[in-house]
Amino acid sequence: RAKELGRGQHHFFDAALKTRAVRKLGLDVQLRRAFERGELEVYYQPQVDIDSRRILAAEALLRWPDGEGRFVASPGEFIPLAEETGLILPLGDWVMETVCAQVGAWLAQGASPVTVSVNVSSLQFRRSDFVDRVGAALDRSGLNACHMGLELTESVLLDDVDLAIGRMEQLKEMGVQLMIDDFGTGYSSLAYLRRFPLDYLKVAQEFVAGLETNRHDAMIVGAVIALSKSLGLKIIAEGVETAGQLAYLTERRCDLIQGFYFARPLRAGDFVSLLERGPIQTPALPVRLGV
Ligand code: C2E
Ligand code: MG
Ligand code: MG
Ligand code: MG
């Protein structure tokens, strides 16, 4: 009986594994094709100054639309896949180029100045010519480096600390804004944190989510903000969805707020319209734009 059950389960897991593998393979082929056909899109999620409620910055987030108003897969699924296959290298270059060109165009139209940050995968960051690629993207668009941010995770930085510090110093020299993404989910020691030439820390969404319900999350966020301040870093809270979370972050003097409470990631055109409307009024948008 037990043996039968065991065998049955085996079949079940085999089938599940196979389904996953097939989906992955299919997605990989589709993703390459979508990329080659220019079907991927960069969305922009506002980062709002906590006092003035002005949009000062944004995060660039990759989207894979299916052409019918939905998405084929989320970045949470296709980015790790692209990292596995190496597609993230051309894809990451394209995101950087697209963002530089887009922000350059907005500024040329007279839009309020914004800094847009791009997520960087470890495969990209480890490339020997990574810094040159960033420089080339900026040069081609004529964008001043201060309008570009790079989001690096703790794992990217801790992979090879000395290499990371070297790269970051070069980028800093160029004037690019540097930030640690998802801070608190990795293993950065405070000693390292001090050595990295950073401009911003982004508090991980998972701690922000628990601000009103979990004492420990609230303590962590409070401590991270205090730490950032003592290191002279600015702080961005991401995943802010409620007035209660915002109130806590306001009290602790967080700098920038990113989250559905103010705005979702938006298509370029919707983002620049919102930017031009001036300070964001709460509660959020009358229409739920974006995803
Ligand atoms: P991330 O860099 O930590 O990005 C923040 C994620 O939180 C985004 O998910 C964003 O849509 C989501 N988010 C923002 N505000 C809220 C909120 O209030 N509530 C909730 N529930 N979620 C919120 P998204 O766009 O699905 O991206 C997931 C991850 O995929 C990103 O996490 C990033 O690691 C990766 N990613 C996205 N675009 C790129 C890219 O161009 N290059 C690379 N290398 N990675 C990317
Ligand atoms: Mg990010
Ligand atoms: Mg993040
Ligand atoms: Mg993340």
Q: What share of the chain is helix, strand, coil (3-state, %, to 5)?
A: 50, 20, 30
pLDDT at residue 23 in the model: 80
User: Across all residues in the chain, what is the average pLDDT?
Assistant: 91
Q: What's the rounded mean pLDDT across residues 187-201?
A: 85
pLDDT band at 20 (very low <50, low <70, confident <90, very high): confident
More confident residue, 269 or 190: 269
| Ligand (nearest to CA of 239) | 1
Residue 287 has pLDDT above 70, yes or no: no
Ligand nearest to the CA of 95: 1
For ligand 1, mutation pick of 61, 83, 240 (most atoms within 8 Å of CB): 61
Answer yes or no: is pLDDT of 68 > 60. Answer: yes
Report how far ligand 4's centroid is from the alpha carbon of 33 (Å): 25
pLDDT average, residue stretch 159-185: 95
φ, ψ of residue 275 in degrees (nearest 5): -60, -40
Least reliable range by pLDDT among 104-113, 131-140, 282-291: 282-291
Q: Is 115 helix (H, G, I), strand (E, B) or coil?
A: strand
136 pLDDT band (50/70/90 cuts)? Answer: very high
Protein residue with least CA distance to atom 21, ligand 1: 239
Q: Give the predicted TM-score (pTM) of the model.
A: 0.92
- Tell me how far the alpha carbon of residue 247 is from its chain's centroid: 23
Nearest ligand, measured from the Cα of 258:
1
Q: Is the pLDDT of residue 286 over 80?
A: no
* Ligand 3 midpoint to CA 14 (Å): 34
Residue 3 has a pLDDT of 52
The full DSSP string for 153-194 is EHHHHHTTHHHHHHHHHHHHHHT-EEEEEEETSS---HHHHH
The CA 154 to ligand 3 mean position distance, Å, reads 11
What integer is the mean pLDDT of 233-240? 97
Ligand at shortest distance from the CA of 183: 3
HSE (side-chain half, CA atoms, 13 Å) at 22: 6
Q: What is the mean pLDDT of residues 38-66?
A: 97
Pocket test for ligand 1, best of 41, 43, 119, 152 (most atoms within 8 A of CB): 119
Separation of CA 121 and ligand 2 centre (Å): 10
Pocket of ligand 1 (CB under 6 A): 45, 61-62, 74-76, 79, 92, 95, 119, 121, 151, 181-182, 205, 238-241, 258-260, 265
In whole angstroms, what is the distance from residue 117 CA to residue 131 CA? 15
Share of the chain above pLDDT 90, in %: 82
Position in ligand 1 atom list of the atom nearest CA 205: 7
| Cα–Cα distance measured from residue 184 to residue 190, given in angstroms and rounded to the nearest whole number | 11
Cβ atoms of 218 and 196 within 8 Å: the answer is no
Residue 242 and residue 244: Cα distance in Å, rounded? 5
In this predicted structure, what is the pLDDT of residue 161? 92
d(CA 15, CA 13): 5
pLDDT of the residue at 289: 46
